[in-house]
């Protein structure tokens, strides 16, 4: 929600740009921290949702750790003062350079996704005369009931190690003298809006705990990954995700052993709602079936609609007060027909120069930006900078 004074100031900036509402970000982080303290969970923020330095510095102050999926993300987390003892490194394709970089920085843990990866980390750690903590990312074969491109915990997905591979993987790990096995990692998918899949995940983890116990292998930590969804349809009604309800599921259904730590890795739920992509209307034109709005922001700034058919709330910030409501297809300028933010969207009658806000763009917006069509990178402003 934007105040009249804010809109006046937004109008003075060249578009497109990302606008981040700092008070809402702080409120969200406070809610997460409170829920984590109450349910005894450790939070690692998933940098890939938004790695903007201004945002990372705020998140870091809350005492959260960082979940990284590339060598550059590990470096960015260190640069933004996340303690290396709170940095974990996941990803199905870690390069040797990524691994060496992370070993040099003494990160807390590698979340390993294949037997080959464990052998490579062991060899590189041996060369550096170090020991690497690892968790094994297990593919729990749980359906997250989200878009198939952001489902990650099914056996058909490339992520993690399948449970039937575990005996062999544990045997290999046992022989790696530069590896310290610390626990299990999971991540079933993103924009998960029902709690059912997390309950199923708990049941799978409980079974796995018994398997490890029967082999007398101790697990220090259980990392349940990220994925908690946000309300893209009603960002003003539900600006803060239900972190308490989410963590309560694990408290209730996950059978943690004494001394075991619960870790979680929210990305989207911490940053999505505080961000908006602000854009100007370049042209309004009539098609045979619909009216087209052409914006100066597109899939190069926010690729989610083109990539996952997702919907973001679209608002004309300069339109209120106009009586007539018109249905529009809201498009970006990029030379792809998928470069469209929404079809048949009712907006106040819209004109060239109007300011449009695409809401809930704080996660997987700026971090997924492209320079396709040689478009420049959009700037970003925190609310206090506007
Ligand atoms: C992407 C990812 C996350 C964060 O997912 P969100 O849906 O943004 O919460 C957490 N952990 C891992 C391993 C990931 O790949």
State pLDDT tens for residues 250-300.
999 999 999 999 999 999 999 999 999 999 999 999 988 899 999 999 999
- Residue 269 CA: nearest ligand 1 atom is 9
Shortest-distance atom of ligand 1 to CA 265 = 10
| Coarse DSSP helix, strand, coil percentages of the chain, rounded to the nearest 5 percent | 35, 25, 40
Task: Give the Å distances, CA to CA, from 373 to 28, 115, 335, 370, 377.
Answer: 35, 40, 8, 9, 11
Rounded Cα–Cα distance for residues 303 and 236 (Å):
22
How far is ligand 1, taken at its centre, from the CA of residue 320, in Å? Answer: 37
Q: Cα separation of 111 and 30, whole Å?
A: 27
Establish how many alpha carbons lie within 13 A of residue 253's alpha carbon, considering only the half-sphere containing its beta carbon: 19
Residue nearest to atom 10 of ligand 1 (CA): 226
Of the candidates 47, 1, 6, the one whose C-alpha atom is nearest the C-alpha of residue 273 is: 1
Q: Is the separation of the CB atoms in 134 and 118 below 8 Å?
A: yes
| Number of the ligand 1 atom closest to the C-alpha atom of 191 | 7
Instruction: Please give all residues whose beta carbon lies within 6 A of any atom in ligand 1, as ranges.
Output: 46, 48-49, 67, 69, 90, 187, 190, 225-228, 265-269
**CATH class name, domain 4-17+274-385:** mainly beta
Q: What whole-number distance in Å separates Cα of residue 208 and Cα of residue 163?
A: 8
Which H helix or E strand runs over 189? none
Shortest-distance atom of ligand 1 to CA 227: 7
Chain centre to alpha carbon of residue 7: 28
Note whether 150 and 141 are within 8 A (CB): no
Q: Predicted confidence band at 313 (pLDDT cuts at 50, 70, 90)?
A: very high
Positive or negative, the Cα torsion across 368, 374, 375, 381?
A: positive
- Supply the residue whose CA is at minimum distance from atom 3 of ligand 1: 226
Q: How far is the CA of 44 from the centre of ligand 1 (A)?
A: 10
Contacts of 252 (CB under 8 A, 6+ apart): none
Atom of ligand 1 nearest to the CA of 363: 8
Q: What is the pLDDT of residue 149?
A: 80
Q: Which atom of ligand 1 is nearest to the CA of 268?
A: 8
Q: Among 150, 160, 187, which is best to mutate for testing ligand 1, by the most ligand atoms less than 8 A from CB? A: 187
Q: Token pair of 373, please?
A: 């069509």
Closest CA to 196 of 155, 243, 236, 245: 245
Quote the ligand 1 centre to 193 CA distance (angstroms). Answer: 14
Cα Rg of the chain, angstroms = 22
Each domain of the chain, given as residue ranges in start order, spans 4-17+274-385, 22-270
Residue 153, pLDDT above cutoff 80: no
pLDDT score at 377: 97
pLDDT per residue over 319-337, tens digit each?
Answer: 888 999 999 999 999 999 9
Q: How far is the CA of 175 from the centre of ligand 1 (A)?
A: 30
275-286/17-20 β-pairing = antiparallel
In the predicted model, is pLDDT for residue 150 greater than 90? no
Phi, psi angle pair for 378, to nearest 5°: -70, 145
Instruction: For CA atoms 288, 289, 295, 297, give the dihedral sign.
Output: negative
Q: How far is the CA of 325 from the centre of ligand 1 (A)?
A: 39
What DSSP line would sit under 35-102, residue for residue? HHHHTTEEEEEEGGG---HHHHHHHHHTT-EEEESSHHHHHHHHHTT--GGGEEE--S---HHHHHHH
CA of 36 to the centre of ligand 1 (A): 17
User: What's the rounded Cα separation, in Å, for the pair 188 and 199?
Assistant: 12
DSSP 208: H
Q: What is the pLDDT of the chain when averaged over all its residues?
A: 96
Q: Which residue has the tokens 């020991």?
A: 131
The number of angstroms, rounded, from the C-alpha of 381 to the middle of its chain's C-alpha atoms is 20
CA of 115 relative to ligand 1 center, distance in Å? 22
**How far is the centre of ligand 1, averaged over its atoms, from the C-alpha of 292 (Å)?**
35
| Confidence (pLDDT) at 174 | 97
CA pseudo-torsion sign 291, 296, 299, 304:
negative
Torsion sign (Cα): 212, 214, 218, 222 = positive
145 pLDDT more than 90: no
Q: Is the pLDDT of residue 351 over 80?
A: yes
Task: Give yes or no for residue 227 having a pLDDT over 90.
Answer: yes
Query: What is the share, in percent, of the chain residues with pLDDT greater than 90?
Result: 92
Which ligand 1 atom is the nearest neighbour of the CA of 69? 15
User: Distance from the CA of 53 to the center of ligand 1, in angstroms?
Assistant: 18
Query: Counting runs of H as helices and runs of E as strands, what totals does the chain give?
Result: 11, 17
Atom of ligand 1 nearest to the CA of 192: 7
Find the DSSP H helices in 81-165.
96-104, 115-127
Give first-to-last CA distance, the chain, whole Å. Answer: 15
Measure 300 CA to ligand 1 centroid, in angstroms: 21
Of residues 304, 235, 283, 222, the one with CA closest to residue 39? 222
Mutate-to-test residue for ligand 1 from 49, 91, 191, highest number of ligand atoms within 8 A of CB: 49
The rounded Å distance from CA 226 to ligand 1 centre is 4
Q: Which of ligand 1's atoms lies nearest the C-alpha of 364?
A: 8
* Per-residue tokens: 56: 């990372």
C-alpha distances (whole Å) from 173 to each of 50, 145, 182 are: 33, 33, 11
Nearest of 303, 267, 277 to residue 359 by alpha carbon: 277
Q: Report residue 157's pLDDT band, with 50, 70 and 90 as the boundaries.
A: confident
Q: Which CATH class is domain 22-270?
A: alpha beta
Per-residue model confidence (pLDDT) at position 158 = 87
Residue 375 is classified by DSSP as: P
């Amino acid at each position: 929600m934007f105040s009249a004074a804010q809109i006046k100031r937004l109008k003075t900036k060249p578009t497109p740009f990302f606008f981040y509402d700092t008070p809402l970000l702080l409120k969200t982080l406070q809610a997460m921290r409170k829920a984590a303290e109450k349910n005894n969970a450790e939070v690692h923020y998933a940098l890939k949702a938004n790695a903007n330095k201004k945002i990372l510095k705020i998140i870091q102050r809350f005492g959260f750790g960082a979940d990284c999926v590339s060598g550059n993300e590990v470096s960015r987390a260190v640069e933004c003062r996340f303690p290396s003892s709170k940095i974990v490194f996941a990803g199905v394709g870690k390069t040797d350079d990524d691994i060496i970089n992370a070993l040099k920085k003494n990160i807390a843990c590698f979340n390993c996704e294949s037997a080959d990866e464990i052998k490579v980390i062991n060899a590189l750690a041996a060369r550096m005369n170090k020991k690497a903590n690892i968790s094994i990312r297990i593919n729990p074969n749980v359906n997250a009931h989200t878009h198939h491109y952001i489902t990650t915990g099914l056996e058909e997905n490339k992520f993690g190690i399948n449970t039937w591979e575990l005996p062999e993987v544990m045997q290999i790990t046992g022989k790696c003298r530069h590896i310290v096995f610390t626990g299990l990692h999971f991540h079933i998918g993103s924009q998960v809006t029902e709690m059912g899949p997390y309950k199923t995940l708990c049941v799978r983890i409980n079974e796995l705990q018994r398997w490890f116990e029967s082999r007398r292998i101790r697990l220090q930590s259980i990392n349940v990954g990220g994925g908690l969804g946000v309300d893209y349809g009603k960002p003003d009604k539900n600006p803060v995700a239900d972190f308490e309800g989410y963590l309560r599921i694990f408290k209730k259904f996950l059978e943690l052993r004494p001394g075991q730590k619960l870790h979680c890795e929210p990305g989207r739920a911490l940053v999505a709602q505080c961000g908006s992509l602000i854009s100007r209307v370049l042209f309004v034109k009539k098609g045979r079936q619909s009216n087209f709005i052409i914006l100066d922001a597109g899939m190069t700034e926010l690729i989610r609609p083109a990539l996952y058919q997702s919907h973001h709330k679209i608002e004309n910030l300069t339109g209120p007060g106009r009586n007539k409501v018109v249905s529009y297809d809201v498009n970006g300028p990029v030379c792809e027909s998928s470069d469209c933010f929404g079809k048949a969207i009712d907006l106040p009658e819209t004109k060239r120069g109007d300011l449009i806000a695409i809401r809930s763009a704080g996660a997987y917006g700026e971090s997924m930006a492209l320079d396709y069509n040689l478009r420049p990178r959009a700037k970003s402003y925190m609310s206090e900078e506007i």
